[in-house]
């Protein structure tokens, strides 16, 4: 097993004890990427020399006895939706191909402050719109477990990078499930924080009222460590909440006494794959074995979540993506006659199909005559969905459900049917509409070897409790220890 | 405009003209196959979101964002900003001083 497949907490121990160096670790990750990323497709940019230089510098500072950050020397992969001043940022789009931003995202600054080694930028559905990473303009990401299947999305590259052992930690973003769903498809831990927990400054906007940045790791401890680094107040994001960041990582071994887990019949209905259902039920049995009580809860408006999301998110997207005007940055079309045609041709030629589809949907639902019936109606339903959760969390600590109706789908399986693709987001999008934290943890495999995730949701700013509950399951199971062999990989 | 004016748009067929109109509003040049594809697909999605009609939202206030923080104020202090060369660094066309754009007053403008 390569070094990069060890959990982050183990690697940090080895780095601080001198058992390994950041350069050794970084080289090991770069070697894995060189050997296998041709067939996985996790990275859009590999930092290579820059990463090695950063690693050497941290090793020198460690040798000199200087104080170091919490992730000192650890390679971390960053989704290509976060701006980085020394690495290209494309958002998986031809629109931003070759663009090098003039500043760092808040979360990227935090990673640099923590002395993480930024090893590269990961593949994603274009502008984070999609559930398979097939909407990347630069090719899909495959789950390292089954190279004929997708890694999920939109943070497919980050999930696959951790799963394949290209990096022990990765950062993603989640607007409707884009961290949790690929975490499930790739068999790793992925957490979406409470809205406002992590700054969105420098996160290229898709749907601003739903977007959150969060961690991927091989285990719960790794996710907790990375979240501690990413979280915190930032005055440059008006929705960032000024609340202290708890020491998530230190509390993990404390089980939640008298744990009450809610389950909702809406999450176990038609369309749920039998193997996924069994995995979730098995996980619930693990919790019961630890003394937890599993109770039925009501989320009366859960069935409206997909419809609500696919009005709110595209509406915000149509507004956010108006900034791509072919003037300030991004691509300008070669041929046009006048300003308006310059806008339209630049956008028409540089955006991919799904991005155009969502801009169209959002523009339509915001346009005169339809605003009340679509966008305003969706916002009202959004409040009802949030109220359902507020009510539910009066009774339970967490809500458990599948992450996805099925394990990873084959490449191309859903690309021709947008509505079916959207409906597959049914279990994850409510957390974004309500602003709640959620985590996907490894909970099994299908018979043909595709990972299955368990989703746990908690009340706002209860990430500490959420992580403790996740750790309870992890201590009793070994799903998170399994690693893909990349057997189907013929590139090396 | 109030809700009573909506003409049950969820049950309304999306036409090719609707798609062309929205594409114009969104400043998107679509090719013929995209117009055709989107007419069907967007119609399907709009049909699906019609289930929101089943939600009773009488008297419910719209929720625009999860945190509902408003009026986040801070002192208006001058801070660092991008240098001119940095601000221009990603521009498709510039002359080292300004962003260059096609003539704004032309006949193709709507």
Q: For residue A154, which of A219, A206, A89 has the smallest C-alpha distance?
A: A206
| Mean pLDDT (chain A, rounded) | 96
**Whole-angstrom Cα Rg for chain B:** 22
Over range A191-211, report the average pLDDT: 98
Which residues numbered 146-165 in A keep a CB inside 8 Å of some CB on B? none
Provide the pLDDT confidence category of residue A308 given band limits of 50, 70 and 90. very high
Cα–Cα dist B63/A480, whole Å: 38
| Percent of chain A topping pLDDT 70 | 98
Provide CB contacts within 8 A for B110, sequence distance 6+. Answer: A340, B24
CA distance B35 to A351: 15
Q: Mark A219-237 as b/e (b = at least 16 C-beta within 10 Å).
A: bbbbbbbbbbbbbbebeeb
pLDDT in tens, A351-376: 999 999 999 999 999 998 889 999 99
A203, pLDDT greater than 50: yes
Which pLDDT score is estimated for A320?
Answer: 98
Tokens for A71?
Answer: 């992730």
**What confidence tens digit (pLDDT) does each residue in A80-126 have?**
999 999 999 999 999 999 999 999 999 999 999 999 999 999 999 99
Is residue B107 predicted with pLDDT exceeding 70? no
| pLDDT reading at B68 higher than 70 | no
Rounded CA separation A329/A389 (Å): 41
Burial of B90 (0-12, 13-18, 19+ CB in 10 A): middle
Neighbouring-strand partners of residue A172: A214
Beta strand extents in A324-383 (DSSP E only): none
Residue pair A260/A394 in contact by the 8 Å Cβ criterion = no
Mean per-residue pLDDT, A424-450? 97
- Cβ distance A101 to B90 less than 8 Å, yes or no, reads yes
| Model pLDDT, residue B2 | 38
**pLDDT attached to residue B108:** 53
The single-letter DSSP state of residue A204 is P
HSE (CB half, 13 Å, CA atoms) of A262?
20
Q: Mutate which of B26, B46, B62 to test chain A, going by most A C-beta atoms within 10 A?
A: B26
State the helix-helix crossing angle for A220-230 and A463-476, rounded to 10 degrees: 160
Point out the residues of A that are catalytic: 79, 154, 178
> Given B18, B29, B41, which is nearest A345 (Cβ)?
B29
**Residue B38 — φ and ψ, nearest 5°?**
-65, -35
Q: Which long-range contacts (CB under 8 A, 24 or more apart) does A345-350 make?
A: A345/B29, A347/A95, A347/B26, A347/B27, A347/B28, A347/B29, A348/B28, A348/B29, A348/B30, A348/B31, A349/A94, A349/B29, A350/A93, A350/A94, A350/A95, A350/A324
Neighboring chain A residues of B42 at a CB cutoff of 8 Å: 357, 360-361, 364
Give the residue on A whose Cα is nearest the Cα of B110: A340
Return the domain boundaries, chain A: 3-258+458-481
Q: What is the ipTM of this complex?
A: 0.91
Please state, rounded to an integer, the average pLDDT across all residues of chain B: 85
At A406 the pLDDT is 97
Give the pLDDT confidence score for residue B106 in this predicted structure: 56
What is the predicted pLDDT for the residue at B1?
Answer: 35
Query: Residues A3-36: pLDDT tens digits?
Result: 788 999 999 999 999 999 999 999 999 999 999 9
Would you say residue A328 has pLDDT above 60? yes
Strands A43-46 and A117-122: antiparallel
Q: Decide if pLDDT at A212 tops 50.
A: yes
Per-residue pLDDT of A476-491, as tens digits, reads 999 999 999 986 554 4
Q: What global pTM score does this model have?
A: 0.95
pLDDT band at B103 (very low <50, low <70, confident <90, very high): confident
Q: Determine the Cα angle at A297 with ends A293 and A303, to 5°.
A: 145
The top-level CATH class assigned to A3-258+458-481 is alpha beta
Structure tokens at A113: 């402050």
- Tokens 């109770």 — which residue? A295
| A window 18-77, beta carbon within 8 A of B | none
Q: What pLDDT sits at residue B12?
A: 62
Please report residues of A whose CB lies closer than 8 A to that of B41. 357, 418-419
8 Å CB contact between A248 and A464: yes
Question: Please, is A296 exposed, middle or buried when counting C-beta atoms within 10 Å of its C-beta (0-12, 13-18, 19+)?
Answer: exposed
Of the candidates A191, A79, A179, which has an alpha carbon nearest to the alpha carbon of residue A437? A191
Cβ pair A301:B48 closer than 8 A: no
Q: Please indicate whether, in this complex, the C-beta atoms of B29 and A344 are within 8 angstroms of each other.
A: yes
**ω before A154 within 30° of 0 (cis)?**
yes
Is a pLDDT exceeding 80 seen at residue B8? no
Helix (H) or strand (E) holding A455: strand A451-458
Chain B nearest CA to A208, separation (Å): 9
pLDDT surpasses 90 at B11 = no
Q: Could you tell me the two tokens for A353?
A: 């199909």
Contact criterion met (CB < 8 Å) for B62 and A372 = no
Torsion angle (degrees, nearest 10) of CA A233, A435, A180, A13: 30
Average pLDDT over residues A199-207: 98
8 A C-beta contact, residue A134 and residue A153: yes
Q: What confidence score (pLDDT) does residue B80 get?
A: 87
Q: What percentage of chain A carries pLDDT values higher than 90?
A: 94
pLDDT reading at A415 higher than 90:
no
**What is the average per-residue pLDDT within B18-42?**
96
Q: How confident is the model at residue B13 (pLDDT cuts 50, 70, 90)?
A: confident
- Summarised one tens digit per residue, pLDDT across range A63-72 is 999 999 999 9
pLDDT of residue B105: 73
Closest CA to A91 of A152, A16, A173, A13: A173
């Amino acid at each position: 097993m390569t070094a990069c497949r060890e959990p982050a907490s183990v690697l940090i121990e080895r780095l601080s004890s001198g058992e390994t160096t950041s350069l050794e670790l970084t080289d090991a990750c770069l070697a894995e990427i060189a050997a296998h990323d041709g067939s996985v497709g996790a990275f859009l940019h590999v930092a290579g020399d820059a990463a090695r230089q950063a690693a050497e510098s941290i090793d020198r500072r460690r040798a000199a006895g200087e104080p170091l950050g919490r992730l000192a020397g650890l390679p971390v992969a960053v989704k290509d939706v976060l701006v980085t001043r020394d690495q290209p940022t494309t958002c998986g789009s031809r629109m931003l191909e070759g663009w090098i931003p003039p500043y760092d995202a808040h979360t990227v600054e935090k990673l640099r402050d923590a002395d993480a080694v930024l090893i590269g930028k990961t593949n994603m559905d274009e502008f984070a719109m999609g559930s398979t990473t097939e909407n990347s303009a630069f090719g899909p990401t495959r789950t390292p477990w089954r190279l004929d299947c997708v890694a999920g999305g939109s943070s497919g590259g980050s999930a696959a990078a951790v799963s394949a052992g290209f990096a022990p930690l990765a950062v993603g973003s989640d607007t409707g499930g884009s961290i949790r769903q690929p975490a499930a498809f790739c068999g790793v831990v992925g957490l979406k924080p409470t809205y406002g927990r992590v700054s969105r400054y420098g996160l290229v906007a898709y749907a601003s009222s739903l977007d959150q940045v969060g961690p991927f790791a091989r285990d719960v401890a790794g996710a907790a460590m990375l979240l501690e680094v990413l979280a915190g107040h930032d005055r440059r994001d008006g929705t960032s909440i000024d609340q202290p960041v708890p020491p998530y990582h230190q509390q993990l071994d404390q089980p939640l006494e008298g744990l009450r887990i809610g389950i909702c019949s809406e999450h176990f209905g038609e369309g749920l794959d039998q193997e996924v259902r069994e995995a979730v039920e098995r996980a619930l049995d693990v919790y019961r074995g630890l003394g937890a009580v599993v109770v039925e809860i009501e989320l009366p408006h859960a069935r409206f979540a997909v419809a609500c999301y696919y009005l709110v998110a595209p509406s915000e997207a149509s507004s956010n993506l108006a900034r791509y005007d072919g003037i300030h940055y991004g691509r300008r079309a070669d041929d046009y006659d006048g300003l308006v045609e310059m806008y339209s041709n630049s956008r028409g030629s540089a955006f991919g199909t799904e991005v155009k589809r969502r801009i169209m949907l959002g523009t339509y639902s915001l346009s005169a005559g339809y605003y009340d019936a679509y966008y305003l109606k969706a916002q009202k339903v959004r409040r009802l969905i949030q109220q359902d959760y507020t009510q539910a969390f009066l009774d339970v600590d967490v809500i458990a459900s599948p992450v996805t109706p099925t394990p990873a789908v084959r490449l191309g399986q859903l690309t021709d049917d947008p509505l079916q693709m959207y409906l597959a987001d049914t279990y994850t999008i409510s957390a974004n509409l309500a602003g709640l934290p959620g985590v996907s943890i490894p909970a099994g495999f299908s018979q043909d070897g595709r990972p299955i995730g368990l989703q746990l949701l908690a009340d706002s700013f209860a990430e500490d409790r959420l992580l403790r509950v996740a750790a309870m399951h992890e201590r009793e199971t070994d799903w998170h220890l399994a690693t893909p062999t990349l057997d189907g990989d013929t590139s090396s | 405009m109030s809700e009573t004016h909506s003409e049950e748009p969820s049950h309304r067929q999306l036409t090719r003209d609707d798609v062309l109109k929205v594409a114009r509003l969104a400043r998107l040049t679509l090719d013929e196959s995209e117009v055709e594809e989107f007419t069907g697909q967007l119609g399907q999605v709009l049909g699906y979101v019609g289930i929101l009609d089943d939600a009773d939202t009488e008297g419910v206030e719209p929720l625009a964002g999860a945190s509902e923080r408003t009026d986040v104020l801070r002192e208006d202090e001058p801070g660092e900003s991008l240098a001119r060369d940095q601000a221009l660094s990603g521009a498709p066309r510039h002359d080292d001083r300004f962003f260059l754009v096609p003539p704004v007053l032309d006949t193709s403008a709507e």
